Amino acid sequence: MAIQITRLGQCRVHYGLGVVILAAMVWPGANVHAADADTADSMFSFRGFGTLGVVHSSDDQADFVSTPYQNKGAGFTNSWSATPDTKLGVQLNANLTGRLSAVAQLVSQYQYDGNFRPALEWANLKYQFTPDLDIRVGRIAIPTYMVSDVLNVGYALPFVRIPLEIYSQLPASHSDGVDGSYRFHVGEAINTVHAFAGKFDSKLPDSGIYHVHDLKGVVDTLEYGAASVHVSYQTLRYDLTFIGLAIDHDPQSIESIGASYDPGKWFASGEWIRAPDAALGPSLCWYAVGGFRIEKFAPYLGFARAYLVHPGWTGLGPLIDQGTVTLGVRWDFMKNTDLKLQLDRTALHGGFDEFFINQQVGFNPNGTEHILSVAVDFVF
Amino acid sequence: MRGNTLFKLMLAGVLALAGGATVALGDAVAVVSAKSEVTTLSKVQMADIFLGKATHFPGGVTAVPIDLEEGSSTRDDFYMKLMGKSAAQLKAYWTKVIFTGRGEPPREAPNSVVMKKLLLENSAAIGYLEANLVDASLRVVTVVGE
């Protein structure tokens, strides 16, 4: 098997595992078919999601990017750019036995080296002890924030992308390790406790790296009907080499509390995050988004803010110090497909700014940016 | 024509009395096999079963939800009445669950005939049908708070 236990509680997943799982699933003898049939009866299911999006930035003195892993975006390089939001993901699930299942997800999106090479987002084995208790081993999604576990899946989000103020405090989109989830009822409410441990390695533009070690966390989600509350706490150490910065094994912890309410006709959610960090100093961020639904349209309004409370031992200023007002509308214009139009107005407050890169001499670190996004999200 | 409508109205009225729930003509009602012990669920309990958040009925018996196919107006009516979600909102919910590897949507019946068959085959199964398709082999589940 391609999973090697390298340390207690930590596993290293080779890309080979995903390829093996994918190959096994598309084997001609396997009963692979699209998910909308009677999936409950078949061993394998194949599904996917994607976004076709274009972004325009009002500022030609820097490139707007939607993740710190992208090396160019909209603004300086091109006035309009498809690279920030366009992506495609495929997922294969296999029910191996009644209790053991495997999942592999490949996502193709614009990366640090300027291409859309697919990367293995998840590849894990899940053992279901009871319908309410499971353990997963391999590359797994970690539910750091309410919106972050589906950050690649535009169709599952009310907006075009998760607020960048939140993304800036997301240590990893996935983790190589283990997690466990236990769900129980408290009266009519449902409480889910989720604990995870693992690591995350990634590459940044210009030969930068971001490695997260000793990631450990616990997340509690309480749901009652349309209401839910999400609380998380995690600790980690990270190495960061990026634009002259070299940080080794810096301890960080992240605390978050969020709530959401979605009775159907309207929805509202918000989250508050505190991230103490020895090297870069403690950051605070929050967002709030709300909207309502009229037939197939769902207009929304969001606010987000991220800032550094005080510098850490490196003495560096904030990686991100900005506030954004987001106005947009989602239109579910056909089955399994939506179209979103979104305008973000971001006020910069002098941070280094990992989401406005390739900064030119005319870039104003205290300026106001206007970002227009049009995206079509789909699932299959 | 008029007689037929009157008959349907009367049938709906009888079903409403029998089930203790208010049902309008053509409305989706939650149903189980008449052999099932389940008679009443709260709105939240019913929603949790169909959203995959609860795997048992209150009291501990396994619950197996069955959906009608996507695009069915009975399905859309059931979810709108139960939790105010449109077909697209429900799809967005399942998209989130599926792509976090946390679950699978209920098994789907292609039509009400298959739905009825699946319900009769398994007393743990729970589904929904247009009120006028419910017969003595099935029981309408009262949804408290609807």
> What ipTM was predicted for this assembly?
0.81
User: Given an 8 Å threshold on Cβ–Cβ distance, is A149 in contact with B106?
Assistant: no
Question: What is the C-alpha separation between A52 and A125, in angstroms, rounded?
Answer: 30
Q: Which residue has the higher pLDDT, A112 or A101?
A: A101
DSSP string computed for A12-79: EE-HHHHHHHHHHHT-TTS---BTTTTGGG-SEEEEEEEEEEEEEES-TTSEE-SSTT-S--EETTBS
Q: Is the pLDDT of residue A236 over 90?
A: yes
Question: Distance (Å, rounded) from C-alpha A14 to C-alpha A244?
Answer: 30
**What's the pLDDT at A314?**
86
Give the pLDDT score at B17: 44
Q: How many CB atoms lie within 10 A of CB A209?
A: 15
Closest residue of chain B to A90, computed from CA coordinates:
B99
Distance of CA A146 to the CA centre of its chain: 10
Report in angstroms the alpha-carbon separations of A375 from A112, A198, A301, A325. Answer: 22, 33, 17, 18
Question: pLDDT digits over A267-279, tens only?
Answer: 999 999 999 998 8
Asked whether the beta carbons of residue B84 and residue A89 sit closer than 8 angstroms, the reply is: no
Is the pLDDT score of A188 beyond 80?
Answer: yes
Q: How close does chain A come to B59, measured CA to CA in Å?
A: 12
The nearest alpha carbon in chain B to A141 belongs to B100
Q: Are A285 and A254 in contact (CB under 8 A)?
A: no
pTM given for the model? 0.83
Q: For residue A197, what pLDDT band results from cuts at 50, 70 and 90?
A: very high
- Distance, in Å, from the CA atom of A19 to the CA atom of A373, rounded to the nearest integer, reads 34
The per-residue pLDDT of chain A, averaged, comes to 87
Contact (Cβ atoms closer than 8 angstroms) between residue A155 and residue A136: no
Q: Give the whole-angstrom CA distance, residue A210 versus residue A252.
A: 13
Interface test with A, best of B99, B114, B118, B146 (most A CBs within 10 A): B99
